[in-house]
Amino acid sequence: MELDIDFYQVLTENGEIRESIEGKIDQSLMLRMYVKMLLVRLLDRKCVNLQRQGRLGTYAPFEGQEASQVGSALALSPRDWLFPTYRDHAAALVHGQSLYRIFLYWAGHVDGTICPDKKRILPPSVPIATHMLHAVGTAWASKLKGEKNCSIAYFGDGATSEGDFHEALNFAGVYKTPTIFFCQNNGYAISLPFEKQSASRTIAQRAIAYDIKGIRVDGNDIFAVYITVKEAIERALRGDGPTLIEAITFRYGAHTTADDPQKYRDQEALSKEWKEKRDPLLRLQKFLLQKDIWSQALEEQWQLQINEDIKYAFEKAVNYPKTTPLEMFNHVYADKPWNIKEQQDELHSFLQKDVN
């Protein structure tokens, strides 16, 4: 069965433009895209190193997926809702979350999930696909209130095998909610390759079943990602309903720092191929160099400033009051059941004895 699912690319692997971007992306935005991708890449590498040193908890890296997260988040307006997973702190950072809060989150502080004032960023969703339903509900509420804003839900290819994915798309399709479903298809749901979890050739084609717009985009092409999300927002605000976007990308590192991808795939060979041929930063760098708006001197200047900002944010997070295991009982029940209260009291007594 042949399905008409587009694959959209604007910036080729060689840094060449396949179509005009005039009126869509100007020079100022191009530079902003590059600096933001550089920021989140250096942040990601720093977090991996800090975890290995025992200074952060288990961490979910995203290096290689910068164009997908940065390009999509830059397309949003401040009033739009962002629903991230545990791997989408690059998108959250671009949309307004602080470096400081991101470090707090990965250090195990619940306060790391606090949204900045006048921003609409939900806490990272660790359960797979559950937040997609929240994004649909929020978008529907916005529509009923007559607000002009969208909700974007980030997820990986593994989430598309969850029931919540289908329920979210069905509900969004029926009520034409202004929701953007943004899938970063990394090709693996931890150790399970996509072809072993799905008979469908693409994720984008699943939009057909719910009569919504579906599109595949080069997830390492920040221009294509940005334009695709912008157009999805415009459709949603016109009342034309949700969009399912499948961004084809690849993560260079492990699923998390607790995972060893060498056990189920040739990680080194795959990463080398994507780094050498399709890296999102290198691709944009080639284009900017052709336009004479990138230089090694600028690169060094940006890196110096970014590293200083990262260092400052982490040092601030390090000085945050240490958390207590008792916090696990907060923010779960409005009224704690007797057995949960009993466990809380037992732990409290244990901790008190330990102190004394």
Distance between CA atoms of residues 27 and 55, nearest Å: 39
CB atoms within 10 A of CB 96: 17
Nearest to 36, CA basis, from 301, 312, 306: 306
Q: Is 252 a residue of the active site? A: no
Q: Is 264 a residue of the active site? A: yes
CA angle 164/263/221 to nearest 5° reads: 60
For 83, 163, 299, the CA distances from 126, given in Å and listed in that order, are 11, 16, 34
Which is the catalytic residue, given 131, 206, 235, 255?
255
Amino acid identity of residue 39, one-letter, is L
Q: Which burial class, exposed, middle or buried, applies to 355 when counting CB atoms under 10 A from its CB (0-12, 13-18, 19+)?
A: exposed
Which is the catalytic residue, given 86, 264, 265, 348?
264
Which is the catalytic residue, given 87, 235, 251, 278?
251
Q: State how far Cα 321 lies from the chain centre.
A: 28
- Helix 27-52 / helix 66-74 crossing angle, nearest 10 deg: 130
Q: Which burial class, exposed, middle or buried, applies to 53 when counting CB atoms under 10 A from its CB (0-12, 13-18, 19+)?
A: exposed
Distance between CA atoms of residues 151 and 179, nearest Å: 5
- Check: CB of residue 183 under 8 Å from CB of residue 245: yes
Distance between CA atoms of residues 42 and 156, nearest Å: 22
Q: Is 251 a residue of the active site? A: yes
- Helix 130-144 / helix 163-175 crossing angle, nearest 10 deg: 10
* Residue 309: partners with Cβ closer than 8 Å, 6 or more residues away: 39, 99
Distance between CA atoms of residues 188 and 20, nearest Å: 33
- Check: CB of residue 274 under 8 Å from CB of residue 248: no
**Phi, psi of 290, rounded to the nearest 5 degrees:** -65, -35
Residue at token pair 């020079």: 27
**Phi, psi of 163, rounded to the nearest 5 degrees:** -60, -35
Catalytic residues: 251, 255, 264
